[in-house]
């Protein structure tokens, strides 16, 4: 029974050792130096938190041209194994250590900081190319001597070596070959000894006799982590510099004002964080395994997709080759036909010239004809022959080859094609579109306009996404509304919520996939539904002085000669007329909003609203005034009368002149025009590109806004006991343009209510 329990216990221990050994082997890649690809030996911690062997770091700095800048950060005593004066008698024939080994063990930087040349005006900053992150790391002027050794990593490497080499004996470093098995180690001497060598190097009665022996090991480390600057044990941690410091470092000016905590606190905080993170990872092993499976599936898809892409490219290139081969055949055929035609003509010409030789062909026949003595017969034969001889003579005198031997007309200009083939490359996704903020705005609908950068690949279609930013935030990522496959470079977003702020973005798509999103653009929607109306010049408008456009959305006041003559007699009591244009729609309920643009060069324009009955009554006869500052209403204006009148005014106007807006003292304003002691006096503000008017019929209030930023300019009370309509007054020259509804633009419409939500 006891033997069975012992066997079970032994099996459990062996299983545990196997698991530990397996886990240690699996993490071997974490213990390899990125330079030498071997186990770390005296690893140093770089400022970028990566590790590198001390010897490898010195070699890298030497390759970079830094000579003598790699101090030894260990600051440990030299091993007796490298000290010739203290050799064992058994080492009489042992070879001396290599110079590079001695160089690694000896300290550097006598009389000056490593990395600083004597007499240098400015300290030299050592730049180390980290092989792990491929970045340049600044080591300061001290170089490697200012770095800490990673003792924890050294311990892990030693445990790993012991786990993978069970039963391997550690040999004495001081014995004559063949060395004996080491039985003791000395941290102070940094060497392993057999019993004989330990007694020899630690004689009784000397200071070395006080060294405490340890178990034999291949890696000797200092008892504690020492400060590389002051060679004292580190006791604190600087959170600002993220560096361990000693007591002397705390009082130095370098860490003045830094947040420094005891190393125990930093140890506990980092250990807790690491424990929690590790516990989270260990508690989500199923998720890790699922993601590994997903990545493996992605690898398989990548292999398949890559093979398909190769086949597609090969097919396309073969297609280009087939087209080129077909074109080559047709061009060669054309050259061959041209060549044969020219050869035929030249051969015929040669045959004709050969007939002109003496005694052959035409000449021989003519010689025989000349021998004819019968005159009638001669005339009959010589008539036709003479014509041939004449043509031959003319050809001989004006000799020219029947065809050219040059084929310059068959030369090909393939410069454009070669450039296209040279630039042949994979299709890139479209770059991030650029939203045209000058043409993008919100009115009755949202009009969004964009363009691609100049050198961007083309986009087949676009995706428009938007969301409201003035709604309470919900947990999780922001939810966007999306519209796919928008053609063109503009879109209309219908039915936006009033008084809201929308953020919009766009991205393009082509065969290569989706590109990057454009920068977000924020748009304010009007505070009330937009009122659509046209200008009606039947009331108070002089056709001689007012010109209304054909679409009835713009009006211009033309002063003309009467006003100039009146201005000349202004000091003698002349009279000026007020021209009024009303809207053809009256408001009887709810809230309404509209916008217009006033010409900055206008002399005096009043924009506002009023009771329809009062407006028609006041301006039906177009009364004269004696001053251009005449207020056409007896109600409220930006230059209003006494604000103590209890009755609500029938009119509310905003006075505009010469690119300025006059804000009176009797109106409540959001522009910050009130002082400490009460309302400020009348003042002016610059005229914005567009003015907005918001009418709240139930509350009897009118607000004048900057239609671009929706900043409040003026708020006035209004008598809403009857229908209220928009009104525009002109004194002198001026022009007003109503903002055109976005819905009239022939652009692609996107219904907001039909958008699909996107996480």
Among 6-10, 60-64, 346-350, the minimum mean pLDDT is found in: 6-10
pLDDT computed for residue 641 by the predictor: 42
Whole-number Cα distances in Å, 604 to 600, 642, 733: 10, 22, 7
422: its two tokens: 């040279």
265: its two tokens: 């606190």
Chain-centroid distance of CA 704 in Å reads 40
Whole-number Cα distances in Å, 540 to 455, 549, 618, 624: 56, 17, 8, 11
663 in Cβ contact with 673 (< 8 Å): yes
Cβ atoms < 10 Å from Cβ of 155: 12
Whole-number Cα distances in Å, 431 to 114, 464, 521: 50, 15, 17
Return the top range by mean pLDDT from 98-107, 532-541, 638-647. 532-541
757 in Cβ contact with 467 (< 8 Å): no
Chain-centroid distance of CA 562 in Å reads 62
Residue-wise pLDDT for 604-652, tens only, equals 999 999 998 888 777 654 444 443 434 444 444 444 444 444 678 888 9
Return the beta strands (E) in 444-553 as ranges.
Answer: 446-451, 461-468, 480-486, 490-494, 501-510, 513-514, 521-524, 535-536, 546-548
Whole-number Cα distances in Å, 617 to 459, 536, 592, 613: 59, 15, 24, 6
Quick one: what percent of the chain has pLDDT higher than 70?
73
Model confidence at 115, pLDDT cuts 50, 70, 90, reads very low
**CA dist., res. 282 & res. 292, Å (int):** 15
Q: Look at 77 and 438; give whichever has higher pLDDT.
A: 438
Do β-strands 636-637 and 651-657 pair in parallel, antiparallel, or remain unpaired? parallel
Do β-strands 756-758 and 480-486 pair in parallel, antiparallel, or remain unpaired? antiparallel
pLDDT computed for residue 108 by the predictor: 40
Residue-wise pLDDT for 451-460, tens only, equals 999 989 999 9
pLDDT computed for residue 565 by the predictor: 55
Model confidence at 223, pLDDT cuts 50, 70, 90, reads low
Q: Look at 601 and 359; give whichever has higher pLDDT.
A: 601
**CA dist., res. 691 & res. 255, Å (int):** 58
pLDDT computed for residue 542 by the predictor: 63
pLDDT computed for residue 86 by the predictor: 40
481 in Cβ contact with 430 (< 8 Å): no
Cβ atoms < 10 Å from Cβ of 1: 5
Chain-centroid distance of CA 620 in Å reads 62
Q: What angle is formed at CA 580 by the lines to CA 600 and CA 618, rounded to 5 degrees?
A: 140
Among 136-145, 281-290, 714-723, the minimum mean pLDDT is found in: 136-145
The full length of the chain comes to 759
Say whether pLDDT at 484 is over 70: yes
pLDDT computed for residue 74 by the predictor: 43
Neighbour-count burial for 393-402, b at 16+ CB within 10 Å, e otherwise: eeeeeeeeee
Closest CA to 743 of 518, 452, 487, 446: 446
65 in Cβ contact with 103 (< 8 Å): no
Tokens 């006059």 belong to which residue?
662
Residue-wise pLDDT for 370-423, tens only, equals 877 778 888 877 777 777 787 777 777 778 887 888 888 888 888 888 888 888
What is the DSSP-derived secondary structure letter of residue 542? -
pLDDT computed for residue 608 by the predictor: 93
Radius of gyration of the chain (CA): 49
422 in Cβ contact with 448 (< 8 Å): no
pLDDT computed for residue 617 by the predictor: 75
3-state helix, strand, coil in the chain (%, to 5): 35, 25, 45
Say whether pLDDT at 99 is over 50: no
420 in Cβ contact with 324 (< 8 Å): no
Quick one: what percent of the chain has pLDDT higher than 90?
24
588: its two tokens: 């009887």
669 in Cβ contact with 715 (< 8 Å): yes
727 in Cβ contact with 583 (< 8 Å): yes
Residue-wise pLDDT for 231-282, tens only, equals 777 888 888 877 788 878 777 777 777 888 888 888 888 888 888 888 888 8
Q: Which secondary structure element, helix H or strand E, spans residue 636, and what is its range?
A: strand 636-637
The three-state (H, E, C) secondary structure of 206-264, written as one string: CHHHHCCEECCCCCCCCCCCECCCCCCECCEEECCCCEEECHHHHHCHHHCCCCEEEHH
Say whether pLDDT at 696 is over 90: yes
Q: Look at 465 and 181; give whichever has higher pLDDT.
A: 465
Q: Which secondary structure element, helix H or strand E, spans residue 366, and what is its range?
A: helix 361-370
**CA dist., res. 468 & res. 480, Å (int):** 9
Tokens 């030369």 belong to which residue?
411
**CA dist., res. 29 & res. 723, Å (int):** 83
Chain-centroid distance of CA 722 in Å reads 57
Q: What is the mean pLDDT of the chain?
A: 76
Phi, psi values for residue 536, rounded to 5°: -125, 110
Closest CA to 522 of 541, 548, 500: 500
């Amino acid at each position: 029974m006891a033997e069975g329990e012992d066997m079970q216990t032994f099996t459990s221990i062996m299983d545990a050792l196997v698991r530990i050994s397996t886990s240690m082997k699996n993490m071997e890649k974490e213990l390899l130096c990125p330079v030498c690809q071997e186990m770390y030996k005296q690893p140093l911690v770089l400022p970028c938190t990566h590790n590198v062997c001390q010897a490898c770091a010195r070699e890298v700095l030497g390759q970079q041209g830094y000579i003598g800048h790699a101090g030894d950060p260990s600051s440990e005593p030299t091993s007796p194994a490298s000290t010739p004066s203290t050799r064992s008698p058994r080492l009489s024939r042992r070879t001396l250590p290599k110079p590079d080994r001695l160089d690694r063990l000896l300290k550097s930087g006598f009389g000056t900081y490593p990395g600083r040349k004597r007499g240098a005006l400015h300290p030299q900053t050592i730049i180390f190319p980290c092989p792990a992150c491929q970045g340049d790391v600044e080591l300061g002027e001290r170089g490697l001597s200012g770095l800490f050794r990673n003792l924890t990593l050294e311990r892990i490497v030693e445990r790993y070596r012991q786990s993978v080499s069970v039963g391997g004996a550690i040999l004495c470093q001081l014995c004559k070959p063949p060395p004996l098995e080491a039985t003791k180690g000395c941290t102070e001497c940094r060497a392993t000894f057999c019993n004989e060598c330990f007694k020899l190097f630690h004689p009784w009665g000397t200071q070395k006799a006080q060294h405490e022996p340890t178990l034999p090991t291949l890696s000797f480390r200092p008892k504690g982590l020492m400060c590389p600057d002051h060679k004292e044990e580190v006791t604190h941690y600087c959170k600002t510099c993220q560096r361990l410091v000693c007591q002397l470092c705390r009082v130095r000016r370098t860490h003045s004002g830094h947040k420094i905590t005891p190393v125990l606190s930093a140890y506990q905080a980092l250990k807790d964080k690491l424990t929690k993170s590790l516990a989270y990872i260990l508690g989500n092993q199923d998720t890790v395994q699922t993601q590994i499976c997903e990545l493996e599936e992605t690898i398989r898809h990548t292999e398949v997709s890559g093979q398909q892409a190769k086949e597609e490219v090969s097919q396309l290139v073969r297609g280009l080759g087939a087209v080129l081969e077909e074109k080559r055949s047709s061009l060669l055929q054309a050259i061959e036909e041209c060549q044969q035609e020219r050869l035929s003509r030249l051969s015929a010409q040669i045959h004709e010239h050969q007939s002109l030789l003496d005694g052959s062909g035409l000449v021989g026949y003519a010689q025989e004809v000349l021998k004819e003595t019968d005159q009638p017969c001669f005339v009959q034969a010589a008539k036709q022959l003479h014509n041939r001889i004449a043509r031959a003579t003319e050809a001989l005198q004006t000799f020219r080859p029947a065809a050219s031997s040059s084929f310059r007309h068959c030369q090909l200009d393939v410069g454009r094609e070669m450039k296209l083939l040279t630039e042949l490359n994979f299709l890139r996704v479209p770059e991030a579109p650029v939203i045209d903020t000058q043409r993008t705005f919100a009115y009755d609908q949202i009009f969004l306009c964009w363009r691609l950068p100049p050198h961007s690949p083309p986009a087949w279609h676009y995706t428009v996404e938007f969301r409201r930013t003035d709604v309470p935030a919900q947990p999780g990522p922001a939810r966007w509304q999306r519209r796919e496959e928008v053609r063109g470079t503009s879109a209309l977003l219908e039915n936006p919520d009033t008084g809201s702020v929308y953020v919009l973005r766009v991205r393009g798509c082509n065969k290569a996939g989706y590109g990057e999103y454009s920068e977000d653009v924020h748009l304010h929607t009007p505070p009330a539904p937009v009122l659509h109306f046209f200008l009606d010049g039947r009331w108070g408008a002089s056709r001689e002085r007012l010109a209304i456009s054909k679409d009835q959305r713009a009006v211009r006041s033309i002063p003309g000669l009467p006003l100039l003559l009146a201005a000349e007699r202004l000091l003698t009591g002349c009279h000026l007329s007020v021209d009024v244009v009303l809207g053809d729609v009256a408001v009887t309920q709810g809230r309404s909003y509209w916008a217009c643009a006033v010409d900055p060069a206008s002399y005096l324009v009043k924009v506002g609203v009023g009771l329809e009955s009062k407006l028609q009554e006041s301006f039906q006869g177009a009364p004269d005034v004696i001053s251009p500052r005449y207020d056409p209403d007896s109600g409220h204006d930006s230059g209003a009368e006494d604000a103590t009148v209890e009755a609500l005014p029938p009119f509310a106007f905003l006075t505009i002149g010469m690119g300025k807006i006059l804000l009176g003292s009797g109106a409540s304003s959001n522009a910050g025009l009130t002082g400490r002691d009460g309302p400020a006096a009348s003042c002016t503000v610059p005229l914005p590109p567009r003015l907005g008017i918001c009418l709240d019929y139930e509350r009897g209030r009118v607000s004048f806004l900057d239609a671009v930023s929706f900043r409040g300019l003026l708020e006035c009370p209004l008598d809403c006991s009857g229908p209220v309509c928009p009104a525009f007054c002109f004194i002198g020259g001026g022009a007003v343009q109503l903002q055109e509804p976005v819905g009239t633009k022939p652009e692609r419409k996107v219904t907001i209510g039909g958008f699909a939500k996107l996480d």
